[in-house]
Amino acid sequence: MTAIDAGGVVVRWARYDWEREAAFAIRRAVFCEEQGVFEYDDRDEIDAHAQLLVAVLDPHSEAREVVGTVRIHRDHSTEATWYGSRLAVSALHRRHGRIGASLIQLAVSSAHAFGCDTFRAHVQAQNAPLFRRLHWRTVEEAMFFGRAHHIMEADLAHYPPCATPFDGFVVEQRRAA
């Protein structure tokens, strides 16, 4: 079954304006309201050229909802280095356990399909263990926005290329009642 035919949670590159707006709303909720990292909005110059990824709950129903997001972009100095940032999952869906990891998987796998040979992220220190479990290593520790971060790099051997990121994949399919 393809992501297009399935219910449940689908992780894919954002296709529609409503998905992008919902992704920005989740980022504001997490990084501004919950964590207080930014005052009003977390958008920056990277958003002008980054690709947003979304986790969409029930993507083909009237009740569809974006429940998670991350953005990826190429490093302008070298086309083969990509970065992921602003990984956020809505508070009500964090206990799902696979949404964040699935967003990370598609982020790295899709960049890998488009020529990435190095994928890095600035990861808040409390999230570094999750990334380690997903085959990332710490390259350096640093402070960003007054918070401890790990500059981490993905082991691309664990992320096969995904050349269909707008279709993405199903994280969890809903079972019929």
Residue type, 160: P
Give the DSSP H/E element, type plus range, for residue 99: helix 99-113
Beta bridge partners of 151: 122, 140
Q: How many domains does the chain have?
A: 1
Residue 141 counted as domain residue: yes
Dihedrals phi, psi of 42, to nearest 5 degrees: -100, 0
| Out of 9-23, 28-42, 53-67, least confident range | 53-67
The answer to whether the beta carbons of residues 66 and 56 sit under 8 Å apart is: yes
For 88, the domain range is 9-162
Residue in the structure block whose two tokens are 């986790």:
55
pLDDT at 177 over 50: no
> Residue 175: inside a domain, yes or no?
no
- Could you tell me if residue 3 is inside a domain? no
List the one residue out of 113, 90, 111, 114 whose CA is nearest residue 153: 111
| Predicted structure pTM score | 0.90
Q: Is residue 17 part of a domain?
A: yes
Pairing, β 118-124 against β 78-89: parallel
Contact between 135 and 99 (Cβ < 8 Å) = no
Of the pLDDT bands very low, low, confident and very high (cuts 50, 70, 90), residue 77 is: confident
Q: Is residue 1 part of a domain?
A: no
How confident is the model over 83-99, as pLDDT tens digits?
999 999 999 888 766 89
Kindly compute the dihedral angle of the four CA atoms of residues 127, 51, 170, 93, in this order, to the nearest 10 degrees: 40
Q: 4 lies in a domain?
A: no
Task: Give pLDDT tens digits for 144-173.
Answer: 998 999 999 999 999 999 999 999 988 865
**Which H or E run contains 140?**
strand 136-144
* Domain containing residue 141: CATH number: 3.40.630.30
Domain assignment of residue 74, yes or no: yes
Q: With respect to residue 172, please indicate whether it lies within any of the assigned structural domains.
A: no
Q: How far is CA 130 from the centre of its chain?
A: 13
